Every structure is written in structure tokens, then in C-alpha cells.
């Protein structure tokens, strides 16, 4: 088989008719793209999630109307919407009845069935958008291919069964030269019930399909033209990174950059399938390739910023020469389900920040009074807020001479509250005052990247 690419278009890329047409042109212009995985149109999954939580009739009608409006805005731009309109109406009716049931008796299975409908609609409409551009495409219900367990909302794919399904149903279509349009995010459990792979799961679906089809690459089309050396909103001079490794991308995502997280692309990472990130609105602007081991690997790769950090300093004079103090502190934190992020220690104190990834509340709110009480029984607790974590990401940082000098020279006018250097070959983390964070990022970027 010649070069095969699996392309995925995210929610904003299929948000309206104009955006969908850009996607269609990308597909038409790339003969290698023969499998297209779609997210729901932007906003639809969120609305469906609210409906799945169970709403009163009036609220339900309002939300369903919003879903209908998003799809209607696309349908009305089609030259002949008669065929697909019936399909969308049928899905909307199904959404109505599922949402009504959700109000009476909610279940995880029902939720997944309901929130999968967004991808059903976007994929059906996209086939029609292509058809109007004289491209015939085959719509595939991805649940026939992606087999999962029954862990609704976070289903785990069954790789063997998925491979089997793909060989049986998907591969022959591709071999016949058909262009396949399908859904991201969803799968089916052994009982035939719809499952979902977790929010944002369409990237995962695309990587899974690429893996079972032995595709050469996964193309993630989104609303940014690749991955940048830092957030271009902070530093307009930020440069696009043409090629980077999965591990560098993982570091960036972990430390706050809004880039795809390789864990959402697990199959691509484990099967060494290169991943491209580009903007569906401006494909001509190019994008970034994320691969296993791109060369060369520069010393400095990117700067990430994570705001709203809280630093906890724990001091106790008795800590000197005692054993197990850190263990006690970490046990208390673990008991409160707090994951420690960065740590620095001295003779009589420990300073640490908490990892509040996936926690929406402000940094201070994650510290419950009981947690603080327990820590206070052990030592003096001091809390610093209004801090941001600036992370320099690169390669062999800990074995290269002069890295610290470059950083400190550049930042001589700023107070660096803590610095973590040496634990990882890939990063140097600095905690700085939040009001200075953007400046610190800009200065570092200027010195190391411009």
C-alpha cells in the first residue's frame, strides 16, 4: 500500500460550513489522506454533556435548540441538504429522547450514547460537504472498528479486537481506494453499547486507527499552525518548531504549553508513527512534526509557562539529621490526594508546589484546612501565592556547561523564588512572581531563542 495518512480535524476545524470547507480542501489536496477522523462541531459535546447530566424540560429544549442551531448553520450553507438533513433530524430526535431519559434515570452508558451524537452529526455533514465538491467518500461508523471495554466515559480500547475489526471492515475500503470519513472519541463495548474514550479523545482515535492500519503518519488539524517555542501571545517572536520529539512535546504539555499531549496519542508513540500538527484554517502556514527521535536535538527547545502556582514551605529545626521527615510530609499530602509537583529541600525546610493539573479551582483553594492543620502539627507552614512556573525545555540541559549562567545572566533583575535543575535532562523549572512571568518568558526567549 502506498503512503497512508490518517487526518483528524478538531472541533473548531469543523465548527461551521466555512471551516469544514477548508478541511475538505485539505483532504482533496492530499491524496495520502484516506481516513478522516472528526470531532463534533465546537460546542456540541459540551451541550450534550450538560443534557446527559439531566435537565428540566425547558432547559433541555433550550440546549437542544443550541445543538440544532450549530448544525443548522452548516446545513443551510449546503446546496442540497435534503438527504443529510433527514439524518441530522433523526439524530436530534434521538438526542431529545436520550436527554429526557437522562433526566429520569441517568447512567454512564446513556451518557456516552448521548455525547457520541456530536461526532455522528459532524461526520455525516462532512461527507455531504465533500460530495458538493465532487468527492465521494464512505461514511464509516467507527464503533464497528474501535472495540473497547465497558468503562464508560474513559473506555480502554481492546487492541486485538480493534485490529481484527480494522482488517475485516476498514482495510478493504482503503485498499479499494475509498476515502473514509469517520468519528473520533467513540467506540463500542462487548455488549454493543457506545463508549467514549475521554474528553478530547479524537486524537486518540486517530492514533489508534493509524496504528491498526499501519499508516505512515497522523495529521492533527487544529486551530494553531503547529507548536511554538513559547506562547505567541506572550512573545510575538515565538518561532514554530518544525520537528520535535514526543518526549519534548510531553514536557511542554506537562509544564503548561497548550500543545497536544503525547499520552493522547499513545498508539502513535508506541508504534513510532510521526504526528503532524497544523492549522486547518491556514494549512499553507505549515506546522510541526512530532516524532520519536528527530535530529538534531537543540540544547534549548521551548519555554512553557504555568500560572497560579502556590509554594508551600515547611520548616522545622528538628528536621536536621532526622530520618523520615520527607516521608511523613509526602504521606500526608498523598492522603489528601495532593500530587507534589516541584520540590527543593534544605537542611531545615522543604519548599514544594502542588500539581493541580485537572483541578479547576485556584491554587490556594486546593489546600484544605485539614491538610494545613495536619502539616502544621509537624512543622511551620508558610504559603506563597501569586507565583508562576517558567520551564525551559531542552536536551541534555544537566550535562551542558553554561546553562545556569545563561539563565541567571538573563534574569539578573528578577527574583527567582525557586529553581529546579538537574533532576531531569529535559527541563529547568523556575518559580517567579506572577506579575513578572510574561517578562521572564520574553527575556529568556530573547536570550536563548532569538
Which segments are annotated as binding site for ATP? 8-11, 222-223, 228, 233, 258-259
Residue closer to ligand ASP by CB (options 153, 315) is: 153
Annotated binding-site members: 8-11, 45, 119, 222-223, 228, 233, 258-259
Which triple of cell numbers denotes residue 341? 509537583
* Closest-approach residue to ligand ASP (CB): 202
Q: Which of 116, 182, 195, 202 binds ligand ASP (CB under 6 A)?
A: 202
Nearest to 266 by CA among 156, 109, 406, 414: 156
Q: Which of 13, 33, 45, 388 binds ligand ASP (CB under 6 A)?
A: 45
Contact call for residue 258 and ligand ASP (CB under 6 A)? no
Contact call for residue 200 and ligand ASP (CB under 6 A)? yes
Q: Tell me how far, at minimum, the Cβ of 184 lies from ligand ASP, in Å.
A: 5
Cβ atoms 170, 140 nearer than 8 A? yes
Phi, psi of 240 (to 5 degrees): -70, 140
Q: Tell me how far, at minimum, the Cβ of 16 lies from ligand ASP, in Å.
A: 16
Contact call for residue 39 and Mg ion (CB under 5 A)? yes
User: What is the distance of C-alpha 73 from the center of its chain?
Assistant: 27
The entry of Mg ion, ligand ASP, none near residue 184 (CB within 5 to 8 angstroms by kind) is: ligand ASP
Nearest to 195 by CA among 207, 203, 180, 183: 183
Q: Tell me how far, at minimum, the Cβ of 10 lies from ligand ASP, in Å.
A: 6
Provide the edge-to-edge strand list for the sheet that holds 287-291: 138-139, 180-183, 33-38, 5-9, 217-222, 275-279, 287-291, 243-245
Binding segment toward ligand ASP, per CB under 6 A, in 37-45, 59-67, 279-287, 383-391: 37-45
Residue closer to Mg ion by CB (options 10, 394) is: 10
CB atoms within 10 A of CB 285: 12
Please state, in angstroms and as integers, the Cα–Cα distance from residue 4 to each residue in 30, 110, 219, 245, following that order.
Answer: 10, 35, 11, 21
Cβ atoms 191, 149 nearer than 8 A? no
Binding segment toward Mg ion, per CB under 5 A, in 36-44, 116-124, 318-326, 406-414: 36-44
CB-count exposure of residue 1 (10 Å: 0-12, 13-18, 19+): exposed
Q: What is the C-alpha to C-alpha distance for residues 364 and 353, in angstroms, rounded to an integer?
A: 11
The entry of Mg ion, ligand ASP, none near residue 262 (CB within 5 to 8 angstroms by kind) is: none
Nearest to 330 by CA among 321, 340, 320: 340
Binding-site string for ligand ASP from residue 99 to residue 138, where x marks contact by CB under 6 A and - marks none:
-------------------x--------------------
Binding segment toward ligand ASP, per CB under 6 A, in 38-46, 72-80, 90-98, 370-378: 38-46
Phi, psi of 227 (to 5 degrees): -110, 135
Partner residues linked to 416 by β-bridges = 432
Contact call for residue 11 and Mg ion (CB under 5 A)? yes
Residue closer to Mg ion by CB (options 15, 129) is: 15
Q: Tell me how far, at minimum, the Cβ of 11 lies from Mg ion, in Å.
A: 4
User: What is the distance of C-alpha 432 from the center of its chain?
Assistant: 26
Q: Which residues bind Mg ion (CB under 5 A)?
A: 10-11, 39
Q: Which residues bind ligand ASP (CB under 6 A)?
A: 10-11, 39-40, 45, 118, 184-185, 199-202
Amino acid at each position: 500500500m502506498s503512503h497512508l495518512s490518517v487526518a483528524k480535524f478538531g472541533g473548531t476545524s469543523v465548527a461551521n460550513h466555512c471551516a469544514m470547507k477548508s478541511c475538505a480542501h485539505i483532504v482533496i489536496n492530499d491524496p495520502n489522506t484516506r481516513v478522516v477522523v472528526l470531532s463534533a462541531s465546537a460546542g456540541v459535546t459540551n451541550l450534550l454533556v450538560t443534557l446527559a447530566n439531566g435537565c428540566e424540560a425547558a432547559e433541555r429544549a433550550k440546549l437542544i435548540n443550541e445543538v440544532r442551531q450549530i448544525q443548522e448553520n452548516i446545513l443551510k450553507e449546503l446546496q442540497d441538504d435534503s438527504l443529510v438533513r433527514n439524518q441530522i433530524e433523526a439524530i436530534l430526535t434521538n438526542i431529545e429522547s436520550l436527554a429526557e431519559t437522562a433526566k429520569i434515570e441517568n447512567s454512564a452508558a446513556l451518557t456516552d450514547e448521548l455525547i457520541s451524537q456530536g461526532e455522528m452529526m459532524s461526520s455525516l455533514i462532512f461527507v455531504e460537504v465533500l460530495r458538493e465538491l465532487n468527492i465521494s467518500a464512505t461514511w464509516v461508523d467507527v464503533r464497528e472498528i474501535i472495540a473497547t471495554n465497558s468503562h464508560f466515559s474513559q473506555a480502554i480500547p481492546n487492541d486485538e479486537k480493534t485490529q481484527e475489526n480494522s482488517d475485516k471492515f476498514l482495510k478493504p475500503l482503503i485498499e479499494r481506494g475509498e476515502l473514509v470519513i469517520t468519528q473520533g472519541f467513540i467506540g463500542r463495548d462487548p455488549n454493543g453499547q457506545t463508549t467514549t474514550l475521554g474528553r478530547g479523545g479524537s486524537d486518540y482515535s486517530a492514533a489508534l486507527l493509524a496504528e491498526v492500519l499501519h499508516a505512515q503518519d497522523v495529521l492533527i488539524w487544529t486551530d494553531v499552525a503547529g507548536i511554538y517555542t513559547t506562547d505567541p501571545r506572550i512573545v510575538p517572536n515565538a518561532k514554530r518548531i518544525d520537528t520535535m520529539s514526543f518526549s519534548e512535546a510531553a514536557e511542554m504539555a506537562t509544564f503548561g504549553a497548550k500543545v497536544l499531549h503525547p499520552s493522547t496519542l499513545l498508539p502513535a508513540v508506541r508504534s513510532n508513527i510521526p504526528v503532524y500538527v497544523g492549522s486547518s484554517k491556514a494549512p499553507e502556514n505549515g506546522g510541526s512534526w512530532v516524532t520519536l527521535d528527530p535530529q538534531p536535538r537543540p540544547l534549548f527547545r521551548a519555554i512553557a509557562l504555568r500560572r497560579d502556582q502556590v509554594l508551600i514551605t515547611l520548616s522545622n529545626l528538628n528536621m536536621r539529621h532526622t530520618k523520615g521527615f520527607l516521608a511523613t510530609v509526602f504521606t500526608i499530602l498523598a492522603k489528601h490526594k495532593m500530587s507534589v509537583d516541584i520540590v527543593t529541600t534544605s537542611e531545615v525546610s522543604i519548599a514544594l508546589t502542588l500539581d493541580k493539573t485537572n483541578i479547576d479551582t485556584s491554587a490556594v483553594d486546593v489546600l484544605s484546612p485539614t491538610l494545613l492543620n495536619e502539616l502544621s502539627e509537624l512543622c511551620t507552614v508558610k504559603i506563597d501565592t501569586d507565583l508562576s512556573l517558567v520551564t525551559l525545555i531542552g536536551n541534555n540541559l544537566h550535562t551542558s556547561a553554561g546553562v545556569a549562567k545563561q539563565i541567571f545572566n538573563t534574569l539578573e533583575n528578577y527574583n527567582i523564588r525557586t529553581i529546579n535543575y538537574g533532576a531531569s535532562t529535559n527541563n529547568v523549572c523556575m518559580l517567579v512572581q506572577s506579575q513578572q512571568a510574561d517578562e521572564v518568558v520574553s527575556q529568556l526567549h530573547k536570550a536563548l531563542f532569538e
